[in-house]
Structure 1
Amino acid sequence: MTAPTRVLICDDQVLIRTGLATIVDAQPDLEVAGECGDGRAAVDLAARLRPDVVVMDIRMPVLDGLEATRLLAGAGVEHPVKVLVVTTFNLDEYVYEALRAGASGFLLKDAPPAQLLHGIRTVALGAALLDPEVTRRLVGKYAARIRPAEDAPRDIPLTPRELEVLRLIADGLSNSEIAGALQISQETVKTFVSRILTKLDLRDRVQAVVYAYRQGLVT
């Protein structure tokens, strides 16, 4: 049997934190590695407990969830941790900032338990939680901020076919849609996506979309 996915839960409201922990611990393939009430504690606990996923609130004392996410999963972090941001604030700006900080997914606290559990499992597997169209809309909206105007595209270590797949990912297409567009199998698409993430040292599709915008591959 495979070891359960270990989840660190960070929320400053005790009732919500307890509720999330109860939902997670009820699953045979998940377990709560720890709980905390502020971003600084999340960073410290993650270093000690090495969870697979951190469920992170945004507005918290001491250190907010966005800054904690940057410290856990942002660019340059030696041992990044997958972060699923769960918040009451359904604002594009928060979603964008969470993704920019390094989060792999974003959920609202009023999401049903099944959606939360799906989110944790999805992020643990290294996939982005956001729907491709939502990702495309958000990253497209903030593309100018993601890619500084003075940045020129650099040499990209991808084959022409891999570049084509990357552009389609950035356009918001799912694996099945990419397969249809290129007339290849979904398994082949998965192979291309895996190669792209490995070659570019990216964690998931969200980071791939941001990379594509930064490099000027999409507008």
Structure 2
Amino acid sequence: MVFICANTFAQENTDLIFVFLNKRTDLPTMPKPELDKIMEGHMANITAMAKDGRLLVAGPFDGGGGIFILKTNSVDTVKQWLANDPGVKAERWNLEYLPVVFRTGKACVAKEPYEMVNYHFIRYGLTLAKHNVQQAPATLRKHEQYMKELNKTGNVIAEADFGGNEGSILIMKGELDQRVVEASPAVKELLFDIDIKRLWVAKGSFCE
């Protein structure tokens, strides 16, 4: 296994854990009252974590799944916090726990009354192979530079890196031209693949 570290991640410590709640397509059918009870408990757990400062950001994707950003540097701690969440206990999602460093924007606690907004959420996934592994560090540096240039457009809400082989994310407002996110050198050189979703969050979740 070859591990690739982006410069920003290597230079900074992270005190945030990013959780992907990935939609499952193999869930068994569940009676609506039972599902409603699970989701009610899930929302109650989100509220409790937000009130005591553990949870900074939470939001669903169009079509299912969502994200959490939690204030800790320990994946084990996050797993403990989520252990009693009825939705997690019922395995409603496939969970990923990733330390994260924001290079543009940051995670913030949105202020009440909440105004829900939706953004384009682009996940760049690392795809190491024989043809690109040697050039990967240089290609990642090119990607970072491209993100800096893209930020000058004013449409970038946040951009963050997961370190290691876990890729990065880009969150944008406005109309999305997919050619823009595909123009990263890391995509052109087949180091990154991309997954684009619509994310709903409370306005201010990324200090915008």
Tell me if TM exceeds 0.5: no
What is the TM-score when the length of structure 2 is the normalising length?
A: 0.29
Determine which structure has the larger strand proportion and give its number.
2
Report which structure shows greater RCO (CA 8 Å, sep ≥6): 2
